């Protein structure tokens, strides 16, 4: 079965840079002034453009800067298009709501900001996720097993016949993707490599966004080994502070280059080509 335009674009981005790395453009308010966000991000993009397959601006760090921040977010995505046209752009905003509210969130992410994908909360169910999946070339990543320490408070609750909720979310998301344009992925943290392996077994072909590498201390090697698909793709290894605040441009580039090399080296030797 041919891949959807969404999946084709994601695979192309990975192949273009020979990379699984997604750089989180998360300008910390105590380190980057609001009127410096765009120049800061552009410096990071220019230093890493040929080394990564995606960028993931976290909306909160732009919202907190008010009007300047909103403008910087849109202009940052424009800078990615100019400097790294191959790269996928994921707006990390964890949005969702019902009906026309979800549609408005989707329009804002895809039309106003120009993102390729948006992180979404699946708790409201399939009808609320569907508005983010109506465009074959755009899509979403649904929270599944998040990287934070308290993730298990809800995500590990036993449901149905006794499986953890995050696995039920993975199964539901697989069905939602199949019923739309095969343009839904999952968010699973690198802090949970065993759970990641379970999710990958449940959803062998779905793309997975992997936060938690770097400052959060996730296990890169174990997560890549557990999370890539059968052709060594399908996993977006996201790192933010450990790359963007590594130092000057050379240091930022070195951090991204080293992370790319480590992720590629961690791919299982027996994956099909």
Is residue 267 among the annotated active site residues? Answer: no
Cα gap 220→216, rounded to integer Å: 11
DSSP summary character for residue 180: T
Measured CA to CA in angstroms, residue 103 lies from 97, 130, 190 at distances of 9, 9, 30
Strand partners, 22: 54, 238
Cα gap 117→243, rounded to integer Å: 22
Closest CA to 145 of 216, 214, 198: 198
Measured CA to CA in angstroms, residue 39 lies from 33, 223, 257 at distances of 10, 32, 21
Q: Which of the following is catalytic: 43, 94, 135, 241?
A: 94
Cα gap 87→55, rounded to integer Å: 7
By DSSP bridging, strand 158-159 and strand 184-188 are: unpaired
Cα gap 34→252, rounded to integer Å: 21
Cα gap 55→36, rounded to integer Å: 18
212 and 218 in contact (C-beta within 8 Å)? Answer: yes
Active site residue ranges: 94
């Amino acid at each position: 079965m041919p891949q959807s335009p969404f999946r084709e674009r994601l695979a192309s981005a990975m192949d273009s840079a020979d990379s699984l790395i997604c750089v989180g453009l998360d300008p910390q308010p105590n380190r980057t002034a609001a009127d410096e966000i765009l120049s800061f991000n552009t410096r990071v993009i220019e230093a890493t453009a040929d080394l990564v397959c995606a960028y993931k601006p976290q909306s909160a760090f732009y919202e907190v800067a008010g009007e300047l921040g909103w403008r910087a977010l849109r202009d940052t995505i424009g800078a990615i298009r100019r400097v790294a046209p191959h790269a996928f752009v994921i707006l990390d905003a964890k949005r969702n709501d019902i009906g026309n509210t979800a549609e408005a969130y989707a329009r804002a992410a895809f039309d106003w900001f120009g993102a390729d994908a948006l992180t979404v909360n699946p708790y409201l169910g399939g009808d609320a996720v569907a508005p983010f999946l109506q465009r074959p070339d755009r899509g979403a990543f649904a929270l599944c097993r998040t990287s934070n320490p308290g993730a298990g408070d809800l995500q590990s609750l036993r449901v149905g016949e006794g499986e953890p909720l995050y696995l039920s979310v993975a199964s539901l998301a697989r069905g939602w993707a199949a019923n739309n344009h095969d343009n839904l992925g999952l968010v699973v943290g690198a802090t949970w490599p065993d759970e990641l392996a379970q999710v990958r077994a449940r959803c062998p072909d779905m793309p997975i966004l992997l936060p938690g590498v770097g400052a959060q201390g996730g296990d890169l090697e174990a997560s890549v080994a557990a999370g890539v698909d059968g052709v060594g793709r399908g996993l977006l290894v996201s790192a933010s502070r450990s790359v963007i605040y590594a130092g000057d441009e050379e240091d930022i580039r070195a951090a991204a280059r080293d992370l790319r090399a480590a992720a590629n080296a961690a791919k299982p030797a027996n994956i099909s080509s």
